[in-house]
């Protein structure tokens, strides 16, 4: 059986260097994972952007499969923020049916968020066309839209007993 050679100084230095590189890689990964979250920072120019697409049922129908594939896992099929992966995140995904909140967000802000992403949400700038991202803005707006109600009848002289002839 051959004799085992003791580790040389060169071997020990190589192992130390490798260990330090591995440690630095782990530290960088932890830093990235913890530093990328926080509140959204939307540029003022993005907030001012207007959706160039007119609202249409065709656009909603066209983008629906993409929404279901890319967004519903977190935001839910109906936009309530209750997708099957939603519980994994803190804060939870936005509930698009919350009209009070969604109506305070401009189309440009929604487009920016879809385009740029924010940990854990991915960026869709390169994954979806500009038109598809604007169609997603329309989809989000559709989730927050109040259900249509019939207009109240206007009182007439014959239907209102308080009105005298």
Task: Give pLDDT tens digits along the chain (165 positions).
Answer: 556 666 677 777 878 888 888 888 787 666 655 555 678 899 999 999 999 999 999 999 999 999 999 999 999 999 999 999 999 998 899 999 999 999 999 999 999 999 999 988 999 999 999 999 999 999 999 999 855 444 444 444 444 444 443
Nearest to 41 by CA among 95, 94, 119, 128: 119
Domains identified in the chain and CATH numbers = 44-144 (1.10.760.10)
Dist CA 52 CA 40 (whole Å)? 23
Non-local CB neighbours of 110 within 8 Å, separated by 6+ positions = 136, 137, 140
CA-CA-CA-CA torsion sign (93, 124, 37, 27): positive
Counts of helices then strands in the chain (DSSP H, E): 7, 0
pTM of this structure = 0.68
């Amino acid at each position: 059986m051959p004799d085992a050679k003791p580790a040389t100084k060169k071997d020990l230095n190589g192992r130390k260097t490798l260990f330090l590189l591995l440690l630095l890689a782990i530290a960088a990964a932890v830093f990235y994972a913890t530093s990328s979250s926080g509140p959204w920072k939307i540029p003022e120019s993005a907030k001012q952007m207007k959706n160039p697409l007119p609202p249409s049922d065709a656009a909603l129908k066209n983008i629906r499969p993409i929404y279901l594939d890319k967004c519903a896992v977190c935001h839910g099929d109906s936009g309530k923020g209750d997708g099957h992966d939603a519980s994994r995140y803190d804060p939870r995904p936005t509930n698009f049916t919350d009209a009070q909140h969604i109506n305070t967000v401009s189309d440009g802000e929604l487009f920016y968020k879809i385009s740029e992403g924010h940990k854990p949400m991915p960026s869709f700038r390169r994954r979806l066309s500009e038109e598809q991202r604007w169609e997603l803005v329309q989809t989000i707006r559709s989730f927050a839209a109040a259900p249509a109600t019939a207009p109240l009848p206007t009182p007439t002289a014959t239907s209102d007993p308080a009105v005298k002839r």
